[in-house]
Structure 1
Amino acid sequence: MTQPRQPGQVDPILAAGDEPASNPTSNDYFGDILAARMHRRTLLRGSLAAAVAAAMSTALPFGSALAAGTQAAPTRIGFQAIPVSNTDSVVVPEGYNVQTFIPWGTPISGSMPAASLEASGDDQGHQVGSHHDGMHFFPLEGSSRDGLLVLNHEYVEPRFMHAEAQGLALDSEGFPQYEDGSRDADQVLKELNAHGVSVVRARQSDDGQWQVIEDERNRRITGLTPMRLAGPVAGTEHVTTKYSPDGSMTRGTLNNCANGVTPWNTYLAAEENWAGYFANQDAEIDRRQARYGIESRSEGRYQWHRAAGGADEFARFDASSRGASPREDYRNEPHGFGYMVEIDPYDPSSIPVKRTHLGRFAHEGVVFAPAVEGQPVVCYSGDDARFEYIYKFVSAKPYQAASADGSLLDEGTLYVAKFHEDGSGEWLALAPGENGLTPENGFADLAEILVNARSAADHVGATKMDRPEWGAVDPATGQVYFTLTNNTRRSEEQVDAANPRAENHFGHIVRWQEDGTHAAERFQWEIFLLAGDQESGRHLDGTPLDQEAIFASPDGLWIDPDRRVWIQTDISESVVNSGNHEVFGNNQMLVADPETGELKRFLTGPVGQEITGIAMTPDQRTLFVNVQHPGATTSAEAFAAGELTSHWPEGGSALPRSATLVITREDGGIIGA
């Protein structure tokens, strides 16, 4: 096992595993729409400051005090902002404490196997997974000190998982393999079991520290867990496989990034960059895979299909046509991925369900509008890839608290967003016979539309967005927020007074107000924050960001019950702390006031990581935040020499591990206030 696999060249601003652009349409770019809108206002107002302010304050209904021209409300942000940092540590404001909790490999079930490079693949199935991401705290009996912490595990870094990897020249995507290109089967099992979701009972002891409690509800949902398909795609020819000839089941969930929580208190895990895990040797690949980035002769991100022994659970990652029909091979296996996966954390015997009516794409997560008795359930989701779209689902049946369950997500209408230059927008239905989605145009029925959600959105003319990431809904105003991480396509020749940045590396946050209820088909939008340094970043009122507020690549997003907007950043390890990103330091978390636009930095993380995932106890006195892939900036040569960029959280010479932060105030007060 001496041949390390090294991935090919990718877009330098993309993080490991991120999907490259695969949208070939001529649909409008959001950047073009924003530029045109700002240019028109520039002509009318005559200055860059006025143009930026105009595009960022459009007097939305129930909008900001600044936008409406009224007196600003008192600040919601009560801590002293911290500076940027490039140290291998976690920094929070004065008066706050941080505990490191459940790092990768922490035992939670079975015989409680200890974390170790020598731990087996089966052991990993009883340990906390790798690369922590979206999460939620489900209280037990309403307690803020005892509950089930449920968290996603986006992907793995094999070099930090296997004893056999030590000393090899492996980058963050590399893995050990045999001379003939095959892989050790137990290593593949370990990597699959490190994906998925962890359900962990967590309790705060009298000394304030949180600990894992052994409990029958502790479990791992992994890349191998049997899962039921539900909704219009289930049982169709799109998802028939050797494993499930009737198209009712699939195995596992992969690349779980952000999450969601249903009004009936279950957990939803998003399947984001799942397409890269599949190999396909077919000469021609149809849109069900090609439109999601699976190319002819592709090998797969970790080459799991090459596991020695050819076990079926590994071989399924080869989507090539090898049998006489889809029931004899795994050509349709990728069509069982790209969904939101519903998990009941309170019932360890429950089978996870993939809700196909929410659409198939690179789900970053899902955010629900507040459920209203007797009205439809509404939720939003972003497709996290270059020039992809923002979607909304509206249930067919009304919400009834006494009987609501996941079946509400199996019937309804999936919409995609179209943004207009004048600050208005509309939701375009992805439904049979609507907006040109007809058999004549290649969309035979609803299942065909949903399994090809990207192609359907292309066809109806949705607006190409700059990597839609997490969403959040303001509990008071109902405004919906989405982070847009970056857009590097703008050239120097396209720079003008209203568009001061060539190649937008830094991203922004958009928000909108629906015209009526969240089920409405029209909305009004504005830019909430323009990320960047002190020259290019802008507050809500159009003024430049100050040093305590500069940030880049907004990703994670959450609004707490007191309406503080928590923003997490994911500057790619390929550019963090270098070039025009050097000024931002390590990835961080900030807090914004939705009324005044005030923005302060709350947390900075260690070297090479992404700050992601956020959850809070009901009393708002404990905050959980995830640190993903510390040390990912270690080069292949440095790894071979044992010269790692991070040793967090253990320090010394330890290998870095993703982990959860538990943040409390020294005075026991509400976080952020």
Structure 2
Amino acid sequence: MSAQHPVFPEVDPDDVSSNSSDNQSFGEVVQRRMSRRNALLGGTAAAAAFLVGPGLGSAAAAAPQHGGGHGRPGGGRPGGGRRLLGFEPVGTSDTDEFLVPDGYQAQVLIPWGTPIRPDGPAWRKDGGNTAEEQAEQIGMNHDGMHFFPLGNHREGSRRGLLVLNHEYIDQELLFPDGPAEMTEEKVRKALAAHGVSVVEIERRRDGSWERVDSRRARRVTGDTPVEFSGPVSGDHPALRAQGRPRGTLNNCSHGVTPWGTYLACEENWNNYFGTTDESWQPTPTQERYGVSASGGGFDWHLADSRFDLAANPNEINRFGWIVEIDPQRPRSAPVKRTALGRVKHEGCTVTESRGRVVAYTGDDQDGDYIYKFVGEGNWRFQRARGRSPLDHGTLYVATFQDDGRGRWLPLVFGEGELTEANGWQDQADVLLRTREAADAVGATKMDRPEWITINPKNNDVYCTLTNGSGWGNAVNPRDPNPYGHIVRWSERNGDHTATTFEWDIFVLAGDPAYDPQVELDEGNRFGSPDGVWFDPDGRLWIQTDVSNSSQHLASKGYDNIGNNQMLAADPETGEIRRFLTGPRGCEITGATATPDQRTLFVNVQHPGESTTHWGEANHENPRAVSNWPDFDPDGRPRSATVAITRLDGGKIGA
């Protein structure tokens, strides 16, 4: 097999950068750092040791500086101690199945169309549910998710609220006749299939899970009334549009606050807006966010002027935020927390340090940035005074330096480049134009920063960088970077409020048959890491989202990697094992567990989506790629949450 680099996938709008700034890319940083290390240490061995971070890629590498691994992927724990990964890896798969290791079982729990209450409207397998019915059902394309226990100790692992995002819709599957003619009813149904679901679930005596009736069950959709809080208030002129603010769209990953609320994160919101007005031209800010007259092909603007850029120009400013939802208060309005900035939020990982709340988020587009919000003062005191800790604080953006160090740059009106003399009006203006503010202060371009998670054992922060179109090869000598990688950093003194950090690379994804720098094998090779999550024992769970324009294709370097998957890693040893694989056409995403870690919930998103390899699925032939999970000869594929348990009742992964 050729060792040439594969061709980067062309068909994925997330991979098209809108960042035309002169800011340095992460790849330029890495190339310079490699050159410095080679000059000091000599040869390719130094470069290889750097590429996987201190102590992670080679047993001969330098000792880790902040809790890194001690050996190459596949190695055991130093000293022969208890292995963190106690399952046999599953193989790659091209079947239309959800596969887990021996000794485990998987239960499909709440697929798209399941009523959120047992007496709600039933799913219609022909896609014929109305907009009103969809608003009372589980939405489409499950993504980020969290389990909120109801009760303490054993009870909290038996019963809880499952809260999950619905990122986007496939209009070929959502409507019986597809999207050919857009109507007001179709827009309403599409809006109802977006957003967030809150359902109560309970574990039965036989170990399986069921959805139960609950006063807390609710849907937050693209039409749900919302509020704004923080520097960009609800009456800000930029938010004045038709009617009151409504809805949340394109919620990808999520976050959970220390006070028990859920954060839904609006990602590719620009895709829902368009116009047929030939006189309309995007503003510089809209252009920077990828706003265009054609949008993402949803064509809602043809039937609803709310999404017409020319007729209702400010509606789009109501999206791109992090949305706080209280799952315990079903009548409370979701609140868009504007102090956290307006970007294409992949997620919002929240922790606390020195009593202050800290929130990390990636802006998921090629060439964009990683951000951090640090709250003002003790969050408990803030809440006691009736103030939201997410409304008061400082938003930062990351810059990665040549020597493995980094700095958080404040995005504060009046500081540095963000002054009135440079065209900035106030802090609200900085937040409405977060990308441009980050451009102005000199943030480092990244290869699609996605999910972020924090190691509970040492406070290291990990971020998946799914892939990149060629920023000088963000973290290794690949240009472009079709496989992605995971970067990690340690905040100074382990303090998440710090403004400096040290960074390295945890793992390079990919197939060694195409790229010899990749240190993965049949039991753990993967590409395009996306979801990432630490469980309480310190296992790093990695989920993949290989584009359906690349899956299984030798021309893309993905013929040996198979369907999308989920892996587990031991950060101390560098060991990685494949834990599950999904059905055809899907992405594996969302990960959360019960407190006792004996049930793991994951999401299968867009099974059966059209792929270059398997073919085109449409309303006339919805089962062309997949028929998971129902395998109904007259049905259609459905995104779903899956509950995974061990046959012996033990901890997942151990």
Q: Could you state the TM-score of these two structures normalised by the residue count of structure 1? A: 0.88
The change in CA–CA distance for 1:360 and 1:14 in structure 2 (over 3 A counts) is: farther
- Paired with 2:168 and 2:449, the residues of 1 have a C-alpha distance of 19
Q: CA deviation at 1:62?
A: 3.2
Which residue in the other structure is 2:483 paired with?
A: 506
- Percent of pairs with identical residues: 48
The amino acid that maps onto 2:176 is A
SS for the counterpart of 1:164 is coil
The amino acid that maps onto 1:264 is W
Q: Does 1:561 align with 2:571?
A: no
Which residue in the other structure is 1:361 paired with?
A: 343
The change in CA–CA distance for 1:19 and 1:37 in structure 2 (over 3 A counts) is: closer
SS for the counterpart of 2:598 is coil
Which residue in the other structure is 1:455 paired with?
A: 436
Q: CA deviation at 1:243?
A: 1.6
Of 176, 180, 188, which aligns to 2:180? 176
Range that drifts further, 459-468 or 528-537: 528-537
Which residue in the other structure is 2:594 paired with?
A: 617
SS for the counterpart of 2:389 is helix
The change in CA–CA distance for 1:380 and 1:536 in structure 2 (over 3 A counts) is: farther
- Paired with 1:578 and 1:135, the residues of 2 have a C-alpha distance of 30
Cα shift readout 1:65-120 (whole Å, capped 9, x = no counterpart): 5289x946643111111111110001111100100111000011495111112211
- Paired with 2:357 and 2:618, the residues of 1 have a C-alpha distance of 50
Cα shift readout 1:338-377 (whole Å, capped 9, x = no counterpart): 01100000111110000000000000001112x25x6321
Which residue in the other structure is 1:20 paired with?
A: 16
Range that drifts further, 466-475 or 431-440: 431-440
- Paired with 2:387 and 2:129, the residues of 1 have a C-alpha distance of 36
The change in CA–CA distance for 1:130 and 1:616 in structure 2 (over 3 A counts) is: same
- Paired with 1:141 and 1:287, the residues of 2 have a C-alpha distance of 50
Structure 2: segments with no counterpart, 5+ residues: 1-7, 55-62
Cα shift readout 1:132-162 (whole Å, capped 9, x = no counterpart): 0000000111311111000000001111122
SS for the counterpart of 2:396 is strand
The change in CA–CA distance for 1:64 and 1:316 in structure 2 (over 3 A counts) is: same
Which residue in the other structure is 2:83 paired with?
A: 75
Q: 1:468-487 residue pairs with structure 2 within 5 A?
A: 468-487=449-468
- Paired with 1:353 and 1:646, the residues of 2 have a C-alpha distance of 37
SS for the counterpart of 2:377 is strand
Q: CA deviation at 1:189?
A: 1.1
Q: CA deviation at 1:19?
A: 6.5
Q: Does 1:258 align with 2:248?
A: no
Q: 1:304-453 residue pairs with structure 2 within 5 A?
A: 304-307=300-303, 314-320=304-310, 322=311, 330-369=312-351, 371-372=352-353, 375-400=355-380, 403=383, 407-453=388-434
CA contact (8 A) 1:360 1:452 kept: yes
Q: 1:70-149 residue pairs with structure 2 within 5 A?
A: 71=78, 74-109=82-117, 111-116=119-124, 117-142=127-152, 143-149=156-162
The amino acid that maps onto 1:315 is S
Of 524, 527, 546, which aligns to 1:549? 524
- Paired with 2:141 and 2:251, the residues of 1 have a C-alpha distance of 10
SS for the counterpart of 2:190 is helix
- Paired with 1:344 and 1:524, the residues of 2 have a C-alpha distance of 35
Q: CA deviation at 1:414?
A: 0.2
Q: CA deviation at 1:316?
A: 0.9
Structure 1: segments with no counterpart, 5+ residues: 1-10, 166-174, 178-182, 245-249, 308-313, 323-329
The amino acid that maps onto 2:141 is H
Q: CA deviation at 1:406?
A: 7.0
- Paired with 2:230 and 2:165, the residues of 1 have a C-alpha distance of 23
The amino acid that maps onto 2:410 is A
CA contact (8 A) 1:466 1:487 kept: yes
Q: 1:240-319 residue pairs with structure 2 within 5 A?
A: 240-244=240-244, 250-280=245-275, 281=277, 282-295=279-292, 297-299=293-295, 301-307=297-303, 314-319=304-309
CA contact (8 A) 1:132 1:658 kept: yes
- Paired with 1:545 and 1:319, the residues of 2 have a C-alpha distance of 47
Which residue in the other structure is 1:311 paired with?
A: none
The amino acid that maps onto 2:238 is H
CA contact (8 A) 1:264 1:401 kept: no
Range that drifts further, 58-67 or 276-285: 58-67
Q: Could you state the TM-score of these two structures normalised by the residue count of structure 2? A: 0.90
Q: CA deviation at 1:57?
A: 2.8
The amino acid that maps onto 1:610 is E
CA contact (8 A) 1:277 1:302 kept: yes
SS for the counterpart of 2:580 is strand
- Paired with 1:209 and 1:451, the residues of 2 have a C-alpha distance of 46
The amino acid that maps onto 1:151 is L
The amino acid that maps onto 1:606 is P
Q: CA deviation at 1:12?
A: 4.0
SS for the counterpart of 1:316 is helix
Which residue in the other structure is 2:628 paired with?
A: 648
